[in-house]
Amino acid sequence: MSDLFPVFLRLENRRALVVGGGTMAALRTRQLLAAGAVVTVVAPAVNAFLDELAEAGRIDFIERHFERDDVNNGYFIVIGATNDPAAEAALADEAERLGLLCNVVDDVEHSNFYTPALVERGDLKIAISTNGLSPVFARQLRQELEAAIPPVTADWIKQLGQLRQSLKLEIPVDFETRRQIIQEVIEKTIQR
């Protein structure tokens, strides 16, 4: 297998299809909504979290088993989170045929991307991948990084972003000087 190309996607107002109604479908739906996606869930039944989202009008819920035609060019990204290998294979085949981003949870062969273990501190996001070989290791490493990176890091990142913008106005053409100033601030912050 070739190396993976790491990327963070902008999903604001892009349509996403989630097939499944259980724990993993709920997790992926939550992540998609947080990224601003417009989510449709197809499943014969959903858990309480997804049911609440549907009741609140935050997702479109189609209450039935997956049909191959559910995957169409109206979607940017497709997630399979069922316990039905035949449905997930059909979902992946159709997504591939249409050139859509597709992830089938816990199924490397039917996915053209993987969702990483993620450490988040505000705008800081650290993605961890094992190329699908050991999600358990990625999760363990994520937990260790979460313990090592203090929550205040979110505030530091925000302040560094504001400093960067100010320096771009004050020193518009001297990138190296701006970089050195920001580096010094980072070093002083970390030494605290």
pLDDT 10s digits, 115-157: 888 999 999 999 998 887 888 999 999 999 999 999 999 999 9
* Residue 1 pLDDT: 55
Q: Is 5 part of a structural domain of the chain?
A: no
22 with 96, same domain: the answer is yes
Place of tokens 């501190």: 121
Give the end of a domain, one of 59, 88, 115.
Answer: 115
Q: Is 159 part of a structural domain of the chain?
A: yes
Angle at the Cα of 59 (from 56 to 61), degrees rounded to 5? 100
Mean pLDDT taken over the chain: 93
Q: Is 144 part of a structural domain of the chain?
A: no
Measured between its terminal Cα atoms, the distance across the chain in Å is: 43
* Residue 163 pLDDT: 93
Q: Is 131 part of a structural domain of the chain?
A: no
Q: How many domains does the chain have?
A: 2
Give percent of the chain above pLDDT 70.
98
pTM of the model: 0.84
User: Which range marks the domain in which residue 109 is found?
Assistant: 15-115
How far apart CA 136 and CA 148 sit, in angstroms, is 19
Q: Is 20 part of a structural domain of the chain?
A: yes
Q: Is the alpha carbon torsion for 11, 14, 18, 22 positive or negative?
A: positive
29 with 83, same domain: the answer is yes
Give the end of a domain, one of 68, 93, 115.
Answer: 115
Strands 117-121 and 101-104: unpaired
